[in-house]
Structure 1
Amino acid sequence: MTKNRYFQLILILGSLTALGPFSIDMYLPGFAGIAADLNTSVANVSMTLSSYFIGISAGQLLYGPLLDRFGRKKPLFIGLIVYILASLGCVFVTDINTFIGLRFIQAVGSCAATVASVSMVRDLFPVKDIPKVFSLLMLVVGLSPMLAPTIGGYVTEDYGWHTVFFILMCMGILILLAAQIGLPNTFKPDTSISLKPKPIITNFIIILKEPQFYTYAFAGAIAFSGLFTYVAASPILFMDIFKVNGKTYGWIFAFMSLSFIGASQLNSFLLRKFTSEQMIFGALISQSFISILFLVLAMNDLLNLHQTIAMLFLFLACLGISNPNTAGLTLAPFSRNAGSASALMGAIQLGFGALASFAVGVFVKNSMLPMVIIMVVSTIVALIILIFGKRNIKKTITTSQDEAVAIVH
């Protein structure tokens, strides 16, 4: 594969993965305008975000079997068409209930892009290169939370919130064209895969029983819920507790994104000297130490704004190291049903992320302590799962079977 072709594939796969984050973040600055236009409350508008998250989690499990049964491009094409039409519907929406429904449909459509991109990484690249590829994808995806709310703010202010959904529709069209033209048919349809509920559930159970899958999927997802905890708690932490203004909060959020992106890129270089297993273990040990220190400092009220930013920066950097490696090792044992495996991995990650976000909503009010406690608990639970789960893995598959390279325990 030439360097240009490699770069082209990363760019298209990164665009597919970034569609979801843009759809979540870009319309956030328009909440007040949407509430006024649709004669409803901001709380009701936030239900459109909830319906989007429900759509993503449902879509993860829907597309996995479809991608394995029909190949990658057909379900991706249909999903993106659904996304484009739902985005167009949002441009002309006139009542909140229709908007909530369209956001759910939009999420189900965008989910095809997310699941297909992860599956195609497994198809297109040697398994030993997957963590490095995921690191590069994170660079593309990591820019989304930095760019989307800023672009959305300017668009909303100058042209109104409807225009945001017109731009998302145009993004969907461009990504659809790029995927159809630039991505190869990476996977032959497997007609032996049934789409009846019982075989689908059985297939997910078979995947779930694989020790390498459940060890790295659950350890990775529970550790990664620390990111969801931070994102959900950050407006309360910075704007309510530390009293920074909206503009400063935006810069802090962008700075934190650099931590996660920078660490995921550092991961590519460290993989030349260390295995993915060593990287995950080292990152989780570091994350445990940082989160416990964070908790001790928070309990004794020893953190000002800058020190809190520093602790969160280090915490998120650990996630930037562990996440590409847990994703790579979770999917490594699967070639025949990589679509279902990536869908199940995504659903597990999103499920724990939603749980962490919900916990933040319930407990984080006027103190950072509950946020830090959630981070400590999730990190230590992830480390325990990793330590005990690894005992059940007879050999860790780190490259495809035909290359016959494995790390034996």
Structure 2
Amino acid sequence: MPPRTTLETLPPWLILMGSLAAIGPLAVDMYLPAFPAIAADLGVAQGLVEQTLASYLLGLALAQLCYGPLADRYGRKVPLLGGLTLFVVASLGCATAATIDQLALWRIIQAFGGAAGMVIPRAVIRDHLETRDAAKALSMLMLVMGVMPILAPLMGAQALLLGSWRTIFHIMAAVGIMQWLAVASSMRESLDPEHIAALTPRIVAATYRDLLRHKAFMGYALAGGFGSAGLFAYISGSPRIFILIYGIEPQYFGLLFGLNAASLIVASQLGARLLNRHTPAALLARALRGMVLAAVAALLLALGDLITLPLLMACLMGFMASLGFVGPNAAALALAEQGRRLGVASALMGGMQMLCGAASGLAISAWHTDTPLPLAGILALCATLAWLSGRFAMRPA
């Protein structure tokens, strides 16, 4: 178990955690430009292809609840290696899927593997760092994760030029193999032996029950969860909005996607610097207000039939910039008091985020119009719920 340290440099273990956390965004974003190609190849409507994304998010939500207790009982490294193995196998399954149902099933299994890269890095960060430095580390983690929404659609679009949509999942499998080798060769166990938790149904259920009753944890976790739901609504709906409604070519889709990801990255890194002068709670409160303003502006423009692509991009970039502050600070505050149950707390927080994301993704895939109104409406709802959750967490007991 490494001692708690301050974050003055970027240590190798944090770089590894960032690369592991990037697996989730890679699996989410890389196949987005291939939605029309998958629909045509499998002979289904694009809405059914969009639902495979919601299936992946649902799998992530459920799987994280499993990895938390495993990480608190068996350490961080062994469950991570198991998850990466499952991710590789499922990626190859996606590449060979012959029907949309098979693709959806393999995506769920792929999510059960990829979830390890979302739960365990957060727990490892809290193993090493206290709350303020953990918020800085999570901001740096968001930098690494934020690169993937820029690179993944571009990689997916280039893979379509070189091969079929199945090539995209072969690339995911290759990335999973490289991550497995990196963890096996260089990761050190960070769980304190004194913090090892028993793995029985009664104890696990009691731990989750206590967390669900923890006011601060639930408020901050839901603030981050509803913010993430807006992100996943955007991820699910952006191919249809940019490619089909605004007529953007698939190979240029990644550029627009990257502008919004860049907003997330820049804001998260600015937030890490501002943590030297401001508390995580203060930054979170201001960011939640900014998120609401950006999302409500998009909704009003859509309702008035005034929204153009530049105006939509401005609102989306404002939402993403606010989320760059919300994500790391909400996560650090939610995990601040969780000590011996960090793995379970990280799992429950991530599970709630993915459930919110799956719900918003399903809503986007079911609400079809030839305008950006569905996305604007769901973003406004998610931002409002995130703001209310943050207010609940910060309210004195």
Tell me whether the two structures share a fold, i.e. TM-score over 0.5.
Answer: yes
Equivalent residue, structure 2, for 1:78: 82
| Alignment equivalent of 1:383, drawn from 384, 387, 390 | 387
Residue matched to 1:328: 332
Cα deviation, 1:33-65, whole Å, max 9, x if unaligned, reads 65676x653556555434422321111101010
The alpha carbon displacement at 1:228 in A equals: 2.1
Partner of 1:347: 351
Quote how far apart the aligned CAs of 1:92 are.
4.8
Give the direction of change, closer, same or farther, for the CA distance of 1:91–1:312 in structure 2 (3 Å limit). Answer: closer
* Preserved contact between residue 284 and residue 383 of structure 1 (Cα < 8 Å): yes
C-alpha contact (below 8 Å) 1:146/1:254 kept by paired residues? yes
1:283 and 2:282 correspond: no
Alignment of 1:9-408 (within 5 A): 9-31=13-35, 40-41=43-44, 48-93=52-97, 97-188=101-192, 193-393=197-397
Residue-pair matches, total: 392
Mapped partners of 1:182, 1:17: distance in 2? 16
CA distance in 1, matches of 2:139, 2:169: 29
Q: Hey, what's the Cα distance between the residues in 1 that align with 2:327 and 2:230? A: 11
Equivalent residue of 1:102, what SS? helix
Deviation by residue 1:85-114 (Cα, 9 ceiling, x = unmatched):
333444555565544433322221111122
Fraction of identical pairs, as percent: 36
Q: Is the 8 A contact 1:25 1:145 kept in 2?
A: yes
Q: Does the CA contact (< 8 Å) of 2:33 and 2:253 recur in 1?
A: no
Distance 1:182 1:214 in 2: 34
SS at 2:305's partner residue? coil
The 1:126/1:182 distance shift into structure 2, 3 A limit, reads: farther
User: 1:212–1:333: 8 Å Cα contact kept in structure 2?
Assistant: no
How far apart, CA to CA, are the structure 2 residues paired with 1:294 and 1:346?
27
Deviates more, 1:363-372 or 1:10-19: 363-372
Give the alignment's TM-score, normalised by structure 2: 0.88
For 1:23, the aligned partner's letter is A
Q: What is the CA distance between 1:5 and its match in structure 2? A: 7.7
79-88 or 95-104, larger mean C-alpha shift: 95-104
Residues 229 and 83 of structure 1: CA distance in aligned 2, closer, same or farther (over 3 Å): closer
Asked if 1 retains the 8 angstrom alpha-carbon contact of 2:7 and 2:137, the reply is no
TM-score, scaled to structure 1: 0.86
Deviates more, 1:122-131 or 1:364-373: 364-373
The letter of the residue matching 2:44 is: S
**In terms of mean alpha carbon deviation, does 266-275 or 182-191 score higher?**
182-191
User: Which fold has the larger relative contact order, with Cα–Cα distance below 8 Å and residues 6 or more apart in sequence?
Assistant: 2
Q: Is the 8 A contact 1:83 1:108 kept in 2?
A: yes
**8 Å contact 2:134–2:332 — kept in the other structure?**
yes
Residues 95 and 192 from structure 1, CA distance in 2 versus in 1: closer, same or farther, beyond 3 angstroms? same
Instruction: Give the CA deviation at 1:191.
Output: 8.5
Q: Is the 8 A contact 1:236 1:365 kept in 2?
A: no
Deviation at 1:117, TM superposition (A): 1.1
CA contact (8 A) 2:158 2:251 kept: no
Task: Show structure 1 runs of 5+ residues with no match.
Answer: 394-409
Distance 2:250 2:305 in 1: 24
**8 Å Cα contact 1:218-1:382 kept in structure 2:** yes
SS at match of 2:22: helix
Of the structure 1 ranges 17-26 and 156-165, higher mean CA displacement relative to structure 2 is found in 156-165
Deviations, residues 144-196 of structure 1 (Å, cap 9, x unaligned): 12111221232233244443333222211211121223222100456973433
Matched residues in 2 for 1:381 and 1:366: separation? 26
Q: 1:207 to 1:151 in 2, by over 3 A?
A: same
Shift of 1:270: 1.1
What is the letter of the counterpart of residue 282 of structure 2? Q
Are the aligned partners of 2:58 and 2:358 in contact in 1 as well (CA < 8 Å)?
A: no
Query: In the alignment, what sits opposite 1:6?
Result: 10
Q: Which secondary structure state, in structure 1, belongs to the residue aligned with residue 190 of structure 2? A: coil
Instruction: Tell me the secondary structure at the aligned position of residue 339 of structure 2.
Output: coil
CA displacement at 1:350 relative to structure 2:
1.0
Partner amino acid for 1:41? Answer: V
- 1:172–1:295 Cα change, 3 Å: closer
Pair 1:98–1:327, CA change in 2 (3 A): same
SS of alignment partner, residue 10 of structure 2: helix
Structure of higher CA gyration radius: 1
Q: What's the secondary structure of 1:367's corresponding residue?
A: coil
The one-letter amino acid paired with 2:304 is N
